[in-house]
Amino acid sequence: MLIVMRKDATGAQVDGVLEVVSKLGFKGHAMPGAQRVAIGITGNKGPISADHFRYLDGVTDAIPVSKPFKLVSREVKQEDTVIQVGGVTIGGGTFAVMAGPCAVESREQLLEVARAVKEAGASILRGGAYKPRTSPYSFQGLRDKGLEYLAEARAETGLPVVTEVKDVETLPMVAAYADILQIGARNMQNFSLLEAVGQVPKPVLLKRGLSSTVEEWLMAAEYLASGGNYQIILCERGIRTFETVTRNTLDLGILPVLRELTHLPVIVDPSHATGRWAAVTPLARASVAVGADGLMVEVHPDPARALSDGPQSLKPSKFKTLMQGVRSVAGAVGMRLA
């Protein structure tokens, strides 16, 4: 059982609930979260009626849950979360394709790609302006300039924009431009960033960490939700294993498991997962077939000269073929394209 207090609940109200829990013979754990207090109950052998708590002062909800993640769990919410962004639907039977360059490199490059992916049928434009890079000496993105180009591409094509936010400092700037805030794999357990993004009223795309378990990933999503942001899209992008012929190991096997555990939509990034462009299209088709809610794909007009992730980027012509395959498999499994 999880008792969720209102954000403005007072210490006295929390104590009041704890007292009720105690009188019922159970143990209450006040859990001061980033945004609000929740109260977990242990010591009960069978189920407890939520009615004991639901109407107490300061309580907003009482939720019976068996998992460590609560608000994002299927137990707490049966129906799929469906996200609307700039006229595009993500989740609930609609398949959304996000495509664009790994990094925004120039106005021309971005506009060229944006037009191409729009024409091929993508519904959202991706592109990195602030780039977290393994080396301090690597290209770190066009930053603010990159955001401006993204806005221009959106204005021209009508495609909403997803772009990465790498720290709390640049969050306001990124949030001012982006339609969807992307949290990268290396930041999946940057809890301060999760808390800050949890307070922004924009959809979030949360990438799975390089070696995150499903439970840790859902706990990261719980940080966002407990902060008040329920518009979360999970993005599987491959995990780190001993195998090196692909950059990472795409873990499609967890998608049916995620369907059972969470109500959040899940998309797949086959570009980062494999690091090989020739593998991207087959895995895009597999992602539709396994039941994903969408894709994130890297497209570059000239992959050989890309400033980052060239080997895994598709040329626009190859992306067109990808979209044909996706459309065809989507039809076979009863999904409609966004």
Site for a second copy in 251-270 (CB under 8 A): 251-257, 260, 270
Question: Which of 64, 291, 311, 316 is in the footprint of a second copy by CB under 8 A?
Answer: 291
Q: Is 289 in the site for a second copy (CB under 8 A)?
A: yes
Question: Which of 27, 282, 305, 336 is in the footprint of a second copy by CB under 8 A?
Answer: 282
Q: Which is nearer to a second copy, 112 or 298 (CB)?
A: 298
Alpha-carbon distance of 309 to 203, in angstroms, equals: 25
Alpha-carbon distance of 118 to 256, in angstroms, equals: 29
Q: Is 164 in the site for a second copy (CB under 8 A)?
A: no
The residue behind tokens 């107490």 is: 56
Q: How many CB atoms lie within 10 A of CB 304?
A: 9
58-97: contacts with a second copy (CB under 8 A): 68, 70
Q: Is 43 in the site for a second copy (CB under 8 A)?
A: no
Instruction: Report the Cα 238 to chain-centroid distance in Å.
Output: 14
Residue closest to 104 by CA, chosen among 52, 178, 54: 178
Q: How far is CA 194 from CA 59, 91, 131, 201, 292, in A?
A: 24, 22, 17, 13, 24
CB of 158 to a second copy, least distance (A): 29
Question: Which of 28, 101, 238, 265 is in the footprint of a second copy by CB under 8 A?
Answer: 238
Q: Is 56 in the site for a second copy (CB under 8 A)?
A: no
117-156: contacts with a second copy (CB under 8 A): 132-138, 140
Question: Which of 191, 199, 305, 336 is in the footprint of a second copy by CB under 8 A?
Answer: 191
Q: Is 49 in the site for a second copy (CB under 8 A)?
A: no
Q: Indicate the burial class of 281 (C-beta count within 10 angstroms; 0-12, 13-18, 19 or more).
A: buried
- For 50, which DSSP code? T
Q: Applying CB under 8 A, what is the total number of residues that bind a second copy?
A: 81
